[in-house]
Amino acid sequence: MDYKQLAPFSPDFLWGASTSAYQVEGAWDADGKGRSVQDARINFPEGTTDYKVAADHYHRFEEDVELFAELGLRAYRFSVAWTRIIPDGDGEVNPEGVAFYHRLLDALLARGIEPVLTMYHFDLPQALQEKGGWSNRATVDAFARFAKVLFTEYAGKVRYWLTINEQNMMILHGAAIGTAGDSGDPQRELYQQNHHMMLAQAEAMQLCHELVPNGKIGPAPNISVVYPASAKPEDVLAAADYNAIRNWLYLDMACRGSYNPTAWAWMTEKGIAPEIADGDLEILASGRPDFLALNYYSTATVAAPLGTGSDVGAMGGDQQLAVGEEGVYRSVRNEHLPVNEFGWEIDPVGFRSTLREVYDRYRLPLMVTENGLGAFDTLEADGTVHDRYRIDYLDAHIEQMRIAVTDGVEMLGYCPWSAIDLISTHQGVRKRYGFIYVDRDEFDLKELKRYRKDSFFWYQQLIKANGSATRD
Ligand code: BGP
């Protein structure tokens, strides 16, 4: 549908930007912090850095928050490192870790920036991992306890809470993100982990409503609509199946407290359905989100599977590249879409479709907590960074989000990835996303000086105009 005129963004729309603890903070063992699975990780791709120093935000957060304020951010989405708060995951609380996030929150609030706090973003305490991680049901209790500490400490300072970042990607790409266990049946193990994370999330949502007056909480999966490769009925069905497995399994559980029937049938067929203990269904039904957060980078396109033993069209193994599955769907390249330097398809219209679809299904306000373009930026001799490609990407997505608002989607805010350069999940520091350039290489830390990119000034203007500068 085309519109003669687009609806405006609401005056209190949360224009923000995002980061996550292990990718930005560094200071991996400072002030009593325990090791997380990301600190313990050894399988970094050749030539890429670990997370020990990252952007050193832990030591430079005041300077960074000052820059965020200059950028005009109305919200900042960040994650708390579980291992700063409870170093071994389920033992003593570390007062220095707790104090760090108080300082960060105070700095944000003093500048009128609304904090959006992710409780857990890929960085499970290594001590819990050694006890079985999410395969061990005790991790559910550990998470609930951690959640209680966060709610009690930060209730007066944080209104918007996110439970688990991209739970669906931790399950779908467990091997790449580091959640896959070492049992002989990784997929079965992953879906048991998924069940445990669902329980943990439901408990956290319930606790938030008890402990945080005016608190709002939601999940933060990576959601994107799945297109059928053609109008062939079998392709359409394959897309519906993958939509259920990739998206609705997670959001149905968060919003409706029950398993998506198609996803459940798929798990049963494959023999990977989780064990459900007495009382689990009640716990799952007891948690309700107040809003839905979602990360969006790209769409996926799939076709009907071919016969046994045939190609499933695996396109790689990271969070945006669908891997096909025999008998279910075949991943295909969408010839209508360009790709970025890392092979991710770029699809702003798919962003509008995704927002509409999610809102139609669940009727809860939406917040975008990631969207952005990873690229190799160049710092010029005069300290400028000309990242027109990033501006184009963000501008096209914001335009489609505005059309989605005109379609009737209730949007709370938009927090692109990322506020400042940080370490990518798979491709080191060279794959940059930030509005602020951090001068370091993979192994040469230089001075970690901050520079404003062209996208910084562009986003600053866009926020000032409440998102309408370039198109009214
Ligand atoms: C999301 C993660 C982020 C971030 C982003 C970009 O899946 O939630 O942590 O890493 O993707 O991905 P990458 O860093 O692999 O380019």
pLDDT digits (tens, 9 = 90+) for 299-313: 999 999 887 666 766
Ligand 1 centroid, distance to 450 Cα (angstroms): 21
| pLDDT per position as a tens digit, 26-42 | 999 999 999 999 999 88
Ligand 1 atom closest to the Cα of residue 372 is 6
Domain borders along the chain are: 14-464
Can 25 be counted among the known catalytic residues?
no
3-class secondary-structure state, position 455: helix
Ligand 1 atom closest to the Cα of residue 374 is 16
Are 462 and 470 a contacting pair, CB within 8 Å? yes
Report the Cα–Cα distance between both ends of the chain, in Å, rounded. 19
Q: Which H or E run contains 469? A: none
Q: For residue 420, what are its two tokens?
A: 């400042």
CATH number of 14-464: 3.20.20.80
Measuring from atom 3 of ligand 1, which residue has the nearest CA?
425
pLDDT band at residue 472 under the 50/70/90 scheme = very low
Span of 70-74, 430-434, 468-472 with lowest mean pLDDT: 468-472
Cβ neighbors of 392 (< 8 A, separation 6 or more) are none
Mean pLDDT score of the chain, rounded to an integer? 94
Can 370 be counted among the known catalytic residues?
yes
C-alpha to C-alpha distance for 159 and 153, rounded to whole angstroms: 13
Which residue among 25, 166, 325, 357 is the active-site one?
166
C-alpha to C-alpha distance for 133 and 126, rounded to whole angstroms: 8
Are 451 and 466 a contacting pair, CB within 8 Å? no
Ligand 1 centroid, distance to 433 Cα (angstroms): 10
Ligand 1 atom closest to the Cα of residue 319 is 7
Residue % of the chain over a pLDDT of 70: 94
Are 165 and 122 a contacting pair, CB within 8 Å? yes
pTM of the predicted model over 0.85: yes
Ligand 1 centroid, distance to 276 Cα (angstroms): 31
